[in-house]
Amino acid sequence: LAIIFKQVPKGVYVPGQDLVVEQSTIDLHAPLKEGEFILKNLVLSVDPYMRIFLENGVLKPGNVMGGNSMSVVLRSNNPDFQKDDLVYGKIARGRFEKYSLVSAEYAKASYKVRNQPKQTGLPLSNYCGALGMAGMTAYGGLLKVGKPVAGETIFISAASGAVGQLVGQMAKNLGLHVVGSAGSDAKINYLKEIGFDGAFNYKTDDIDAKLTELCPNGIDIYFDNVGGVMLEKAIDHASHYARFPICGAISQYDDLKGGYPIKNFHKVMSKAITIQGFHFTQYTEELEEEFLENVAKWLNDGSIKYAESISEGIETMPQALLDVMEGKNFGKQIVKVADL
Ligand code: NDP
């Protein structure tokens, strides 16, 4: 089985229409050419950026969907990818199919050996979330763009999600006052359990009243995962010299050519706010090693927790992406394809 890109969504993404499950076969026992190897794909990461990639021309109709993944090498004729190695599939590149026949050339740009789970004992799914792209995004975005200082206030939107829950716990451990928003009461309860000082449901609470109550000294860092209305509200409640790491804008992804017009942008100047978009890849070279070491340690010693939504079976992937877009995921959305 494989997940195939069929067509550009017309507005709201439709699983089974834009992304479909198709039968595909590879011969697991066929002789391997030089540099080739066969992967058994184990877990896949489902992420909001995929909605953009369905529209930006990276995927052509008929292509196998790609994304972060963890896999194991079944057979190999490539000295860099040995039998039983655990292998990380990079953003948009790990192939969403049950088994993959990988050429040396595709492997270079798409996969790296990541045998750390054998040492840390952490679940493979963590390596598609807290220890994958989402984690690197949280780590780089908070430290490099947010520039957190103990005693400051950070506000995080989509705070219970793959990136948000890590940003909040890391900020708390650095001594910040941490406030988050999310879309259900169960998510709000979770945020309080993992140490957020304040959290509110942006769908049912009065956002202005909550930001006034929970951020009495104003917002010093707004870690923006959603864009749109919440970005506008955060500008209203920002302190002078606030930093706004612009991580994502999921509220806008179904309407990439339109979108919500921010009405108070002039305040960015009067409050001297630094609004800075960033991409996790900016920080991987410098920080990935320490990030992997630190986050694995924090997960193992319990100083951070990490909620995941795991859907079973590769055929659940198209629906899992809609779940992420609709907020039905609780924490990092993972698809489990097979056991090791
Ligand atoms: P999440 O696990 O947070 O899942 C997405 C969440 O967004 C949903 O669960 C939902 O939570 C929330 N959401 C959906 N629609 C809306 C809406 N209209 N308004 C407000 N919230 C909404 O995803 P990630 O943690 O993986 O990603 C978070 C953000 O970070 C995304 O914007 C993503 O594109 C971005 N990102 C950026 C990267 C970078 O390098 N800059 C890398 C990785 C991710 P709720 O129930 O709370 O509404």
The predicted-structure confidence for 100-148, as pLDDT tens digits, reads as follows 999 999 999 999 999 999 999 999 999 999 999 999 999 999 999 999 9
2-129+307-336 and 133-277: identical CATH topology: no
CA pair distance 64, 90, nearest whole angstrom: 14
Instruction: Tell me which residue of 317, 322, 316, 336 sits closest to 66, measured CA to CA.
Output: 317
Evaluate: CB of 161 within 6 angstroms of ligand 1. Answer: yes
Q: Domain limits of the chain?
A: 2-129+307-336, 133-277
Evaluate: CB of 248 within 6 angstroms of ligand 1. Answer: yes
Report ipTM (2 d.p.): 0.99
Evaluate: CB of 184 within 6 angstroms of ligand 1. Answer: yes
For domain 133-277, which CATH number applies: 3.40.50.720, 3.90.850.10, 3.20.20.70, 3.30.710.10? 3.40.50.720
Q: Of the residues 169, 205, 223, 250, which should be mutated to test ligand 1's pocket, given the most ligand atoms within 8 Å of the CB?
A: 250
Which amino acid residue places its CA nearest to atom 8 of ligand 1? Answer: 327
Q: Measured from the CA of 163, which atom of ligand 1 is nearest?
A: 25
CA pair distance 340, 74, nearest whole angstrom: 10
Q: How far away, in angstroms, is 161 Cα from ligand 1 center? A: 6
Q: Which residues pair with 333 in a beta bridge?
A: 309
The β-bridge relationship of strands 86-95 and 37-45 is unpaired
pTM of the full structure = 0.97
CA pair distance 192, 223, nearest whole angstrom: 18
Evaluate: CB of 145 within 6 angstroms of ligand 1. Answer: no
Evaluate: CB of 253 within 6 angstroms of ligand 1. Answer: no
Taking CA atoms, 194 is separated from 103, 191, 271, in Å, by 43, 5, 31
Tokens found for residue 180: 């988050």
pLDDT, tens digit, 9 for 90 and up, residues 143-196: 999 999 999 999 999 999 999 999 999 999 999 999 999 999 999 999 999 999
What's the CATH fold of domain 2-129+307-336?
Answer: Quinone Oxidoreductase; Chain A, domain 1 (3.90.180)
